[in-house]
Amino acid sequence: MYLIGVALFALVILISVSLHEAGHMLTAKAFGMKVTKYFVGFGPTLWSFKRGETEYGLKGIPLGGFCKIVGMTPQDDDVDPADEPRAMWRFPLWKRTVVMSAGSITHFLLAIVTLWLAAMFIGLPNPALAEPQPAYVKITNCVIVGATANRDCIPGDPASPAKQAGLQDDDKITAINGVPVATYTDLVSEIRKLPAGSQATINYQRGGADQQVNVNLASVQRPPVDNPEGPVGAVSALGVQGPIPPPGVPVMLKYNAIEAVPATADYTGNLAVGTVQSLQRIPQKIPALWDAVTGEPRDADTPISVVGASRLGGEAVEHSAWEIFVLLFVSLNFFIGVFNLLPLLPLDGGHIAISWFERARSWVAARLGKPDPGRVDYYKLMPVTYVVILIGGAFTLLTITADIINPITLF
């Protein structure tokens, strides 16, 4: 089932990328631009046919797809003179913008429609659990001394102080050394305030009954709670995870077709914010990726490639966790959609940025009574494009390597 899940996730991602290219093709055709090729995959052609002026087919390397729109830039030198009036760069700015953004829009639509269907048939994460939660805890088997805490226990890790003291899953921590803790965040904050490795009196509730226990806390290395990228220092640890839902509170909620609309909109908004934040954190996570490749434990918050996502999809299918499979597919589509709009060549966002720069430059020239400077020379931008490709390729290779030799796991 794991291998089936890996193959299934890879297939749905290939289909979504193919639909991305179909978005470009269909909008270009609708505006009258000439599209000569639409292929799924790269490399040698396995099969193709021609309908009208477009050749459709499959290629041997199933790692994406492409469509060829005649005259994407004024510098394209393979435009037949008869096709010059239909060259893409000759069309109005708004039409070119629609065509170039159609791929990302396709990813967004795939994500939104999938979320809407999931809201009805699988459920979406309970939004109430996104709010600060009472300090219900899950007891870990160990504490991770080093700063990379998002990994499984390995031999040599100290035993969990909470487990040694007799605390259990679903216990609700109510006070630390007499200081009330209303939420799990409060719990972490109060534990961190104590001297590393000190003793603490823990008040908790189990089955509605108030209880108390003394715990010898562990000393671990952690960054500040409010600054995960800040300096690492010695702090105390209890050996618990959270926040977990209070007993009886569902993790996933299902909706009817009407209720699913605002639920999907809320989840999409949160996903958009999370995606932008993830993109901003990528440069900070490169050292952790390198550490994972060189043998250090893999940080669960590091980026993953399509290889890593497919492996996670395989785990989800293996454990019948279809909600994880679906939400992973949604998140990856949304990430691809946003990433592709970054104003960098050769991404679609780079072509859009250049088109709007040309319009702004022409507008300014007209207001100043100067000649229209015309189109941007793409050849002058090629060095920058090659740098972007080189950096992107190196990052992709690093991520794939980490996903192969030291993957993130769900279970």
Question: How confident is the model over 385-402, as a mean pLDDT?
Answer: 94
Write the pLDDT tens digit of every residue in 202-248: 999 998 899 999 999 999 988 887 776 678 888 999 999 888 888 88
Domains of the chain as residue ranges with CATH: 1-34+70-125+252-411 (no CATH), 130-241 (2.30.42.10)
Q: What is the pLDDT of residue 250?
A: 86
Of 41 and 226, more confident: 41
Cβ neighbourhood burial of 23 (10 Å; 0-12, 13-18, 19+)? buried
- The mean pLDDT of 116-121, rounded to a whole number, is 96
DSSP designation for 40: E
Q: Is the pLDDT of residue 149 over 70?
A: no
Q: Clarify whether 21 is annotated catalytic.
A: yes
Q: What pLDDT shows up at residue 133? A: 84
Residues 237-261: pLDDT tens digits? 999 988 888 888 888 999 999 999 9
DSSP, collapsed to helix, strand or coil, labels residue 210 as: strand
Strands 218-222 and 54-69: unpaired
Dist. CA 188–CA 173, nearest whole Å: 11
DSSP letter string, 113-177: HHHHHHHHHT-EE-GGGGS----B-EE-SB---SS--SS---TTPPBPHHHHTT--TT-EEEEET
H-helix segments, 319-410: 322-340, 348-367, 378-405
Q: How far apart are CA 218 and CA 143, in angstroms?
A: 7
The mean per-residue pLDDT over the stretch 296-317 comes to: 90
Amino acid letter, residue 7: A
